[in-house]
Amino acid sequence: MMQQLRHSCKFSHSAESAANVPRQIFSGIQPTGIPHIGNYLGAIKHWVELSSKQSGVVFSIVDLHSITLPQDPHQLRCNTLDMLACLLACGLNPDQCILFQQSSVLQHTELSWILGCLCSLPKLEHLPQWKEKSEKYKEVGVGLFTYPVLQSADILLYRATDVPVGEDQTKHIELARHLAKLFNNKYGWFFPQPRMLPGPVAKIRSLRKPEMKMSKSDLDTKSQINLTDSPDVIRLKVKKAVTDFTGSITFDPASRPGVSNLIEIHAAMADLSPEEICEQNLHTDTAGYKMIVADILIEKLTPIRTEIEKLQANKDYLLEVLEKGCSKAYELAENNMAEVRRLVGFR
């Protein structure tokens, strides 16, 4: 027993260099229905690229986060499998990364409790998502208030150094860094300081309200293009996209957000720059350009839609992928949590 205590004290006073920590990427996505092109271009496409270049990348379908707001249990299970099908159809290879369902790895909630005991109330009260969401409901659960701590646990559990997320998650990454520092100062250095890994694509905006981000919660179904939309639906939504009364195709997000959003979508889908898109369409008017954007979306999304439908029909395969991913994630998570428990003094 005394030897264990001496070892614990020795570790806590030895500041292991963060430079020795290997690069580790982690990110998560909520199972809130079929992703739209904003999810695809802003996150999923980037995940596919990252996992093809580096081994051991960890991606999670974060269903624990979903229940911060009311969920139908059956629908949540369906949404989880649908999200998995979408990720696989977009090109994420479960043999090249760790892809799993968050709730199946209980160490996420264990570490969340430990970090929650380090986190102050004012730190959570100032987060923008809490202010925004709590104003919409008469009563909100504690989970909605504390879920950023769980998000920090998601990241730190795998000792992630890089987190590919959008700019709207800046404050949450700052919280993860803050909690990592608090833990290290109190118990001894263990968690590296995670940093945001910006994606190659700016956030995609609503087709109907281009001043706002494309969102699943938007009640106007024409505001977003989903990965499973048919060609006819895609053409209709793009045709109805809000632009302006200037006929030429120019990229100016500040004064021409609608047209610029279509250019951003086109550029991301075709792997071109907005400037190249504008140059290609010097003599195209807005109405004609909308059909060009619709065509490129149909070309890129049709194979994905077909693969999603194929995977949705093979539930056994999807469950097998989740089981294998859970096994890989559990091993990594448990190795790290064993050390966390020792540092905290549990074992």
**Residues with active-site annotation:** 133, 213, 216
Instruction: Confirm if 173 and 165 have CB atoms less than 8 A apart.
Output: yes
CA distance 301 to 306: 9
Return the DSSP state at 203: P
Is residue 58 classed as helix, strand or coil in its secondary structure?
A: strand
Count Cα atoms within 13 angstroms, Cβ side, for 118.
24
CA distance 73 to 45: 29
Burial 264-285 (b: 16+ CB within 10 A, else e): bbbbbbeeeebeebbeebeebe
- The pair of three-digit structure tokens given for residue 228, joined into one six-digit string: 């499973």
- The pair of three-digit structure tokens given for residue 243, joined into one six-digit string: 């632009």
The kind and range of the H/E element at 26 are strand 26-29
CA distance 179 to 153: 9
Minimal CA–CA distance to 261: which of 282, 242, 235?
A: 242
Distance, CA of 28 to chain centre: 4
Is residue 107 classed as helix, strand or coil in its secondary structure?
A: helix
DSSP assignment string, 286-312: HHHHHHHHHHHHHHHHHHHHHHHHHHH
- SS3 helix, strand, coil % of the chain, rounded to 5? 60, 5, 35
E-state strands within 112-257: 162-163, 195-196
Q: Listing from the earlier edge strand, what are the strands of the sheet with 97-101?
A: 26-29, 57-61, 97-101
- The pair of three-digit structure tokens given for residue 153, joined into one six-digit string: 């646990």
- N- to C-terminal Cα separation, the chain: 11
